[in-house]
Structure formats: C-alpha cells, structure tokens
Amino acid sequence: MVYKFDYLGDLCRSFCKIIQKYTKYIVVSGFLVIMSGRSRATEDIDIIIKPIDLNTFIKLHKELVQNQFQCLQSSDPIEIFSRYLKENLPVRYIKNGNFIPNIELKFAKDKLDEYQILTRKKIPFTEIDIFFSSIEANIAFKEELLKSPKDLDDAKHLRIVYSDDLDEKEIEKIKKMIHKFRL
C-alpha cells in the first residue's frame, strides 16, 4: 500500500511538533528512507523519545489527544506510561481513526538510543523540519542489526543519496555500539 507523501510528512510533523514541547525525540528507520526519495510503503513512523516522568507524559498525552491522536493500547496515560513505555514497550498512536499509517513511540532504552538522540539532525534533503537519527545511525542499524532485504536495500539507498556526506568511521562506531548494547 502506498500513502500520499504529504500525508506521512504532515502526520510526522504534527506529532513531532507536540513531542518537542516535552522532550527530545528522533525519527528513525523507514520514514527517513522514504523522505530521502526511496519509493516504498510504510505502515508506521518510528519515534524514540528521551524518557520523561509521569506528570510530563500525562501533559504530552493530553495534548496529543487534543490534536486528534489516539493511543491504540489505552486511553489512560498512566497505564500507557507504566505498562508500556516504562517497560520499554512501544505504543502506537493513530490520528483521526486512521490505523495506517501510525506512530510507534518508545522511550530511549539504552546508551545507543541516548547517543542517537544526542547526535540527532535535521536533514535538509528531506524537506521536513523534524529531527532524525543520523544517516550513519540508520545505515548501521539496517546493515548490522535489522538485515532484512528491505533494510539492506534501505541502507544502500541512503549510502547512494548521502554518499558525499557519509562518515564511515561513525557508521563503524555505531555498529560497535550495536554489538555492545543489542547483540
């Protein structure tokens, strides 16, 4: 299924505009590849946020709901926070009753996620004013951890599009971090 490019961008922008009021975030994985010109579908936009306390999350969730976002796991922010996010489980938000595409939201769970948030970037080529994990981090994850044919094709696409700007030492550094914290 292919989604209108603008709808994905608008969905992500509107969600991130709210998130950034409460914490730092990064958008990771397939959405970056799509925004970098690769023609492929996605069912979700993956967002990692710097962990926040319960009171801050309640305010965040309330604002998301006021802007027509709905959490699929629960409408109770305390349950979402304690049963899912604090347990390193992602939650999914939809907008206006549309189940696809959706936003998969999770807390940073380790030093690797913290590093990605620390080195986050706005990527002008994407023409969307949001923070992504670095191109190098996306390539490293797709080549070293995920490794599906789709992920390897995504990494190849990113390597081609951003070939003039890639820092191979940074990719190798992140691959080592993946081995330390995830494998």
pLDDT level of residue 96 (50, 70, 90 thresholds)? confident
| Mean pLDDT for the stretch of residues 109-138 | 95
The percentage of residues in the chain with a pLDDT greater than 70, rounded to a whole number, is 97
Mean pLDDT of 70-91: 98
Which CATH number goes with the domain that contains 120?
A: 3.30.460
pLDDT in tens, 124-170: 988 899 999 999 999 999 999 999 999 999 999 999 999 999 999 99
* SS3 (DSSP) at 45: strand
In a domain, 149, yes or no: no
Residue 100 lies in a domain: yes
Instruction: Decide if 155 is inside a domain.
Output: no
CA-derived radius of gyration, the chain = 16
Residue 65's pLDDT is 98
Against a cut of 0.85, is the pTM above it?
A: yes
So what's the pLDDT on residue 114? 97
Residue 29 falls inside a structural domain: yes
Band (3; pLDDT cuts 50, 70, 90): very low
Res. 84 pLDDT band, cuts 50 70 90: very high
Please identify which residue in the block is written with the tokens 């490019």: 5
Model confidence band, residue 2 (pLDDT cutoffs 50, 70, 90): very low
User: What pLDDT is attached to residue 126?
Assistant: 87
64-78 per-position pLDDT tens digit: 999 999 999 999 999
Q: Does residue 101 have a cis peptide bond before it, meaning omega lies within 30 degrees of 0?
A: yes
Q: How many domains does the chain have?
A: 1
Higher pLDDT, 23 or 7: 23
Position 172 scores a pLDDT of 98
Q: Is residue 156 part of a domain?
A: no
Mention every residue, 6+ apart, whose C-beta is less than 8 A from residue 62. Answer: 77
Q: Is residue 102 part of a domain?
A: yes
What residues make up the domain containing 58? Answer: 5-134
Residue 94 lies in a domain: yes
**Residue 91: inside a domain:** yes
Three-class secondary structure of residue 93 per DSSP: strand
What distance in Å separates the CA atoms of residue 74 and residue 81, rounded to the nearest whole number? 10
User: Tokens in use for 101?
Assistant: 């595409």
What would the two tokens of residue 170 be?
Answer: 């940074």
Interval 78-94 mean pLDDT: 98
2 CA to centre of own chain: 19
